[in-house]
Amino acid sequence: MKIAVIQGPNLNMLGMREKHIYGSMTLDQIHAQLKGSADQNGIELEFFQSNLEGEIIDRIQECMGTVHGILINPAAYTHTSIAIADALKAVSLPTVEVHISNIYHREEFRQKSITASASTGVVTGFGPFGYHMGLIALTQIISEMFNAQQQQASAVPVEEENTTE
């Protein structure tokens, strides 16, 4: 199973910015912990971070046909980017949105997620551990989809008996 982990603007500044909100872990530390969990479960992760909306959209589009799901923290674009939401909808992959802080305990403008409408689920407010929660949820969703596809493929259609003589 392969999952893209996409990080939005300013997340490259984790560990240095607003530690009272985001904690002291750097993005590299979060990725290292997430990779350790993924490796233990046979999951391949691809990490990407950009401060540019267009680059994030390009990366989402590149996910089509190359990964099984997306774990995304759109950061500030959560509240503004119809384009990222549209890209997530276009690729039609299971997607879990993650936020380190609880966006519902923040400023009013941060309490609406435009990108959540394109996500399978949202994890918010659990700090860096939220990425692990999102990964667990996403792998479960992908596994259930895979199992459903396997069951459909192995179902043998029953032929109707001809009752006319």
Tens digits of per-residue pLDDT, 24-79?
899 999 999 999 999 999 999 999 999 999 999 999 999 999 999 999 999 999 99
Active-site residue list: 22, 99
Find, among 129, 148, 132, 124, the residue nearest to 40 by Cα: 132
Helix (H) or strand (E) holding 108: none
The domains found in the chain, sorted by start residue, are 2-154 (3.40.50.9100)
- Average pLDDT over all residues of the chain: 91
pLDDT for 101 equals: 85
Rounded Cα distance, 132 and 144, in Å: 18
Is pLDDT above 80 for 99? Answer: yes
Rounded Cα distance, 76 and 37, in Å: 27
pTM of structure: 0.87
